[in-house]
Every structure is written in C-alpha cells, then in structure tokens.
C-alpha cells in the first residue's frame, strides 16, 4: 500500500500512532485525530524525520470522535487535506470508567459515553467518508475490536458490549455494501503494551504484551493484502481474532 | 393564472430539516419529456424506470463547508457575519482551489432567522480593515471589493495553512436559510455524495437521493459518475447584488468521468445531470477549451447548446430566477411550465429541501 489517503482515529498514542508511523513510512498520506492538541503535535513532530524519504505525509486534526459535532467537520477536513480517503481505521476507543466496575455497580451514563466513542463515533465517521468510497468503488474500513467482544470478561462489560456491537456493525456494513468496492474488517489486534491495557489491568506483566509497533507492521501487511483484494468480494470473514489475522499477515 | 407567485413564496417556517430518510420518503418527481413536452407526477422512488443500461447519472460530489463566519470588524467594533462566496483565485479565473483568500458577502449580525433582505446595513468597510475571529491566531483583512460593492469584500486570512483549515471547520457554520425553524448543522447540509469540501451552499438537488436508489440504478446498468462543482450562494438579499451572482465557481471533471460520458454519447445513451452544479461542471468541461477543472462562469440558458448532458434531474426552480433560465437549455419553457402547473396541483415544494423534476428524452 502506497500513496493512499488514510484516516486513523485515536492516532496520537498506542496502536493508532504506531499504525500512522508505519503507513507514513510506506509512502502513504495519513490524517490522525486525537483530543489532545499537545499529544497530536508531539506525534507529528516525532514522525516527520522518518517520512522524509518515503513520500508519505502526516496531518493532524483535533477531534473528539464521541461528539457528533466533531465527527462531521473532521471528515470534511480530512477529505480536503487528503483529496481522497482510501482507508479508514476506527481505532479510538474508550474503556469507560476505571478501575473497571461490575455492570451492577456501573452507571448507564458511563455506558452511553463508551458507546458514543466505540460505536456511534465509528458509525458516523464511516457514514461521512463512505460517499467518496462508494463513488470511487474503492475503500477499506477497519474497526478495531478486542477479544472482550467475544469473551464475557467480568468487569469489561461496557467495553466488551461496545466492541461486540462494533463487530456486528462491521458485518452488516459488509453485507449491505457487498460488491460495491468497499470492504469492512473488524480486527482484534491482541493485547499490547498500551495506555489502555494498563488502565484496565495496572499490574499486567509487560512481558506478556506485544509491542504496538510490531503489531502495526504486521497489521500493515494484513491490511495491504486485504485492500489489494477488496474488489474480489469473496470475504465471508469480516471479524479477525488476533491469531486469525496474524496467520494471514 | 399565475400559480407561480404562490408557489415560490416560501413558507414562513419549515420544520427542522427532515432526516434524510423522511425527506426521501416524501419526495415527489415531476417528469418532463424533453422531446414531446409530456409531463407526469410520480415519486422519486420511480426514478430507475426513466433509465436504461448504459445511461449515465452525473452527480456533484461537492461537500458543503461551514462558510458562515461570525466576526468583529475591528475598526468599528461591530459584529458581522461574513459568508464565503468563492476563493479569490477562482474569481480571477485561475484553476486552483485555495483557502487563503475569498470573495465574501457581509451581513449585519442580526439573527439568521431574519431574512437576508433585512440584514444589509453594515458599517463602512475599507481596504486594509481587519476582522477579528474567535481564534486569536486567525484574522481576516480586506484586500479589495468586488465590483466596488461594500457588501462584497475580498478577504485574506492572516493565518498559517493549518490554523486556517482548523479555524474554518471549528468555528464556521453552514449558511442558514431563514425559513427553517431550527439551525442547520453541518451534517444537515451534506448530500449522499459529499466528498470534496468546496461548496459554500449545498448542492441541494441531491438531498433526496439515497444510496438505495443509486444501487437500484446501478443494477439497471446505469453508471453513477461524480464531478465537482463548488455550488455557491444563490441570493444575497439585494437585487443589485444578486445580479452579480453566480460568481465564478470552481469545478472539476476527472478523466474517468469524461470518458464515461463520451462513451455514453457514442452509443446514444442519456447523460443526466443531477442538479444545476453537476450540469454547469459537465457543460463547462465539454466546452471549447475542454478544461477538466478550474473556474467556470458558464450560465446555461435557452441559447446554450448542450455538449455533455442530455437531461437534468433538479429541484423545482423559482420563476424569474436564473435557475429557471438554466432549464431553457433542456426543454422549451411552455412545456416546463405545463409540468410545473401539475406539480403545483400536486402540492410540490419549491425550495432547497423541496421536490424534484426530471427533464429527459425518456421522461
């Protein structure tokens, strides 16, 4: 994958930042979004030296993907900057309240906030960027999922159900737009040494966790192949566990 | 009987813009046969039966930017609304769309609920005057006046590229219509084809279209082809200024779009423009110079001989407006008016979120 327009939400830290770096290094034009302008600035300045030879570029947009009023301007600005969006990676995620509470101890307002970030945000941004993809009959939308979407981990309730909804959203998008040139995948990247992971499990042994930069390089290979074959339309599998996509990358 | 004096008076208020699903359900379609004048009333969902394999529907992929800015005129301390009309480079006939310098229209602050006709009193503006914005990093400076009109300043943004972009998308608002009860948000003014953020007012003929309908057309073998036209402000509330509209606007017709249209022409298929913006883009691109993108001031009228399109799917156009003259390029006026009378009887709506009219050789 080279010379593609790519939008990555939650791109100023963790896997999002690592993906942005990998795509830019491979000569792509990337917009990252994030809520914190300082982190975005730091991400942008950290990436600049690496991309100088690749022909890639990085752009930042300050946005809170959980807010409808933030999603639509972001979509327009990203399309203005990139010209076209080939790949959307809905990566921004909210864990909800930490320490993670039992559902019975949780508040519905917290659940609403998690759904806004993890389901409605990706839905809105996808919807706002789909017109260009459908008109060009070309695009790939990646929704970042989790094994918590499949396994009913106690205390991961809000996060887990939001990711299960995101998985199913990916399947339905895919069914409805089959044959239209736009492909959808939901991917569990596996457990990584990121802020989100340590917020959920503070005493997690870092040695058990993957390095997000390594995950990003492997995902780049997987997504490049998926993008290449997006028109083939023989894609019964939309959701990939960490083992499943790794086996193909 | 002059039914049109009634129909083009817009209702005092209109409920908040309907959701796109509601709008689609209610949209009516007036079909006018361009060769016989036969017209009929139906629903938009019937659109596919006016098309056959090999036909082309050309859509405008312009997305609508938040082109209304609330500013303070520094010299007088007066709050004003500026509506961006077209980039200055486009006004000068250059081919690039740039964000830094714009032709704008100034309105007294008031509320957008007031009709623009009531908001024409502005303080004296001079070249070099500054406008302050909500963002301390972004200022605008008046660099000139279009046609020496005080209300049409040319403004330059004093800001870095990035802060200008983020300023517009963060602080700009979509241009509002006074007949709407509620504020229009940025998502209310995007069409199903919104991709390129260049329009200052929405290409409204596309509001009613859905991808379900597009897929139905594609299944019939119809090709949906995007072009870009930076649809602009259609009224400034003063007849003197409205005479200057439309100002030159940005358009782009890509190589692939051109080839598909040429192919369709070669096998004698329909090429239908969706909206007047798509029509201006195609007819500009298929003009003598065959420029693929740039600035267009082409005005379609009865004397224009169609070069790219064979028909048009568009909103209901007001009497006396330049939009109505534009339709003369597609069908003789008496036939159109005969159809319009049927539409009036059927209760069609005549505004940006109103009903649609298809003029084609198969209607």
CB contact under 8 A, B196 and A80: yes
Q: Does B299 touch chain A (CB under 8 A)?
A: no
Per-residue pLDDT reduced to its tens digit, B41-91: 999 999 999 999 999 999 999 999 999 999 999 999 999 999 999 999 898
- Yes or no: say if A11 and A133 are a contact pair by the CB < 8 Å rule: no
pLDDT of residue B119: 67
B224 has a chain A CB within 8 A of its CB: yes
CB contact under 8 A, A135 and B196: no
Give per-residue pLDDT as tens, B242-274.
888 889 999 999 999 999 999 999 999 999 999
Put residue B174 in one of left, alpha, beta given phi > 0 → left and psi -120 to 50 → alpha: beta
Same fold, B3-63+182-360 and B68-171: no
The angle at the Cα of B176, spanning B173 to B181, to the nearest 5 degrees, equals: 120
* The pLDDT of residue B265: 95
pLDDT at position B19 is 46
Catalytic residues of A: 159
Tokens, residue B84: 């961006």
pLDDT in tens, B143-202: 999 999 999 999 999 887 777 778 889 899 998 876 666 789 999 999 999 999 999 999
Buried b (16+ CB within 10 A) or exposed e, B75-98: eeeeebbbbbbbbbbbbeeeeebe
Largest interatomic CA distance in chain A: 53
User: Mind telling me how many Å the CA of B258 is from chain A's nearest CA?
Assistant: 14
* pLDDT given at position B197: 95
Higher pLDDT, B352 or B204: B204
**Are the C-beta atoms of A5 and A84 separated by less than 8 Å?**
yes
Tell me the mean pLDDT in the region A192-205.
Answer: 87
Question: Cα distance from B26 to chain A (closest Cα, Å)?
Answer: 22
| CATH class given for the domain over B68-171 | mainly beta
| Cβ neighbours around B276 below 10 Å, total | 25
Question: Where residue B312 falls among pLDDT bands split at 50, 70, 90?
Answer: very high
Spell out which residues of chain B touch residue A77, defining contact as CB-CB under 8 Å: 165-166, 169, 197
| Per-residue pLDDT at A213 exceeds 50 | yes
Task: Find the closest chain A residue to B189 by CA distance.
Answer: A72
Q: Do A76 and B214 touch (CB under 8 A)?
A: no
| A interface test, pick of B169, B183, B185, B186 with most A CB neighbours within 10 Å | B169
Task: Report pLDDT for B94.
Answer: 80
Topology adopted by domain B3-63+182-360: QueA-like (3.40.1780)
pLDDT above 70 as % of chain A: 96
Interchain proximity A77–B197, CB inside 8 Å: yes
Which one of A7, A84, A131 makes the best mutation probe of the B interface by having the most chain B beta carbons within 10 Å?
Answer: A131
Domain containing residue A21:
5-248
Q: What is the DSSP string of B300-355?
A: --TTPPPSS-SEEEEEPPPTTSHHHHHHTTTS-HHHHHHHHHHHHHTT---STTS-
Q: Which residue has the higher pLDDT, B276 or B120?
A: B276
Is A76 within 8 Å of B65 when comparing Cβ atoms?
yes
- Find where tokens 């990203």 sit: A78
What was the ipTM of the complex prediction?
0.93
Tell whether the model's pLDDT for residue B284 goes beyond 80: yes
Q: What is the pLDDT of residue B291?
A: 65
Q: Is the peptide bond before B132 cis (omega within 30 degrees of 0)?
A: no
**Secondary structure letter of residue B289 according to DSSP:** S
Is the pLDDT at B223 greater than 90? The verdict is yes
Query: Are B195 and A74 within 8 A, CB to CB?
Result: no
CATH code assigned at A239:
3.40.50.720
* Cβ neighbours of A188 (radius 10 Å): 21
Q: Measure the CA–CA gap between B56 and B265, rounded to whole angstroms.
A: 10
A14: helix, coil or strand?
helix
Strand partners, B363: none
- Looking at residue B166, its pLDDT comes to 82
Cα B289 off chain centre by: 24
Domain residue limits, chain B:
3-63+182-360, 68-171
Record the tokens describing residue A91, joined without a space: 């990566």
Span A115-138, mean pLDDT? Answer: 98
* Cα separation, A244 vs A169, whole angstroms: 19
Q: Does position B1 have pLDDT exceeding 80, yes or no?
A: no
Shortest CB distance from B170 goes to which of A73, A135, A180?
A: A73
Confidence at residue B18, expressed as pLDDT on a 0 to 100 scale? 47
Q: Do B166 and A84 touch (CB under 8 A)?
A: no
For B99, name the nearest residue in chain A, comparing CA atoms only: A80
Number of domains in chain A: 1
* DSSP-derived secondary structure for A201-245: -TT--GGGSB-HHHHHHHHHHHHHHHHHTTTT------EE-HHHH
∠ Cα B238 B239 B240 (to 5°): 90
| Of the candidate ranges A30-34, A38-42, B7-11, B258-262, the one whose mean pLDDT is the lowest | B7-11
């Amino acid at each position: 994958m080279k010379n593609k327009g790519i939008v990555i939400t939650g791109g100023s830290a963790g896997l999002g930042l690592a993906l942005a770096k990998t795509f830019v290094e491979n000569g792509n034009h990337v917009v990252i979004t994030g809520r914190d302008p300082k982190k975005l600035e730091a991400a942008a300045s950290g990436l600049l030296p690496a991309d100088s030879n690749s022909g890639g570029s990085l752009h930042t947009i300050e946005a809170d993907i959980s807010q409808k009023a933030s999603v639509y301007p972001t979509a327009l600005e990203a399309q203005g900057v990139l010209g076209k969006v080939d790949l959307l990676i809905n990566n921004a995620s909210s864990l909800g309240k930490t320490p993670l509470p039992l559902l019975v101890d949780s508040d519905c307002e917290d659940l609403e906030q998690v759904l806004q970030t993890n389901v409605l945000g990706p839905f809105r941004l996808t919807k706002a960027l789909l017109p260009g993809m459908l008109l060009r009959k070309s695009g790939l939308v990646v929704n970042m999922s989790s094994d918590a979407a499949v396994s009913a981990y106690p205390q991961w309730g809000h996060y887990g159900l939001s990711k299960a909804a995101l998985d199913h959203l990916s399947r339905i998008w895919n069914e409805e737009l089959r044959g239209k040139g736009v492909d959808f995948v939901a991917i569990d990247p596996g457990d990584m040494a990121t802020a989100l992971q340590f917020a959920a499990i503070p005493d997690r042994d870092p040695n058990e966790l993957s390095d997000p930069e390594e995950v990003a390089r492997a995902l780049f290979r997987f997504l490049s192949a998926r993008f290449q074959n997006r028109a083939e339309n023989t894609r019964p599998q939309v959701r990939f566990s960490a083992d499943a996509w790794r086996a193909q990358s | 009987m002059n039914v049109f004096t009634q129909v083009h008076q817009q209702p005092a208020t209109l409920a908040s813009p309907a959701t796109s699903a509601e709008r689609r359900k209610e949209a009516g379609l007036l079909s006018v046969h361009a060769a016989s004048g036969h017209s009929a009333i139906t629903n938009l969902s019937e659109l596919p039966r006016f098309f056959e394999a090999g036909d082309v529907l050309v859509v405008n992929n312009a997305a609508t930017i938040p082109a209304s800015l609330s500013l303070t005129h520094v010299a007088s301390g007066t709050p004003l609304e500026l509506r961006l009309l077209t980039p200055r480079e486009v006004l000068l006939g250059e081919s690039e769309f740039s964000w830094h310098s714009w032709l704008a229209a100034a309105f007294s602050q008031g509320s957008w609920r007031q009709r623009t006709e009531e908001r024409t009193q502005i303080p004296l503006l001079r070249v070099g005057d500054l406008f302050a914005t909500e963002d301390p990093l972004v200022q605008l400076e008046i660099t000139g006046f279009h046609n020496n009109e005080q209300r049409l300043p040319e403004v330059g943004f004093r800001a870095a590229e990035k802060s200008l972009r983020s300023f517009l998308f963060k602080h700009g608002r979509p241009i509002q219509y006074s007949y709407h009860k509620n504020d229009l948000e940025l998502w209310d003014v995007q069409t199903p084809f919104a991709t390129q953020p260049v329009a200052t007012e929405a290409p409204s003929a596309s509001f009613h279209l859905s991808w379900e309908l597009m897929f139905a057309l594609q299944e019939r073998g119809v090709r949906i082809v995007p072009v870009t036209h930076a649809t602009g402000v259609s009224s400034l509330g003063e007849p003197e200024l409205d005479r200057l509209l439309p100002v030159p606007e940005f358009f782009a017709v890509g190589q692939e779009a051109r080839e598909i249209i040429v192919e369709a022409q070669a096998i004698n298929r329909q090429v239908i423009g969706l909206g007047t913006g798509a029509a201006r883009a195609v007819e500009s691109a298929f003009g003598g110079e065959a420029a693929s993108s740039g600035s267009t001031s082409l005005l379609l009228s009865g004397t224009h001989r169609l070069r790219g399109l064979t028909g048009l799917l568009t909103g209901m156009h007001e009497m006396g407006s330049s939009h109505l003259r534009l339709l003369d390029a597609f069908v003789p006026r008496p036939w159109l008016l005969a159809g319009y009378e049927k539409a009036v009887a059927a209760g069609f709506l005549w505004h940006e979120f109103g009903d649609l009219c298809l003029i084609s050789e198969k209607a």
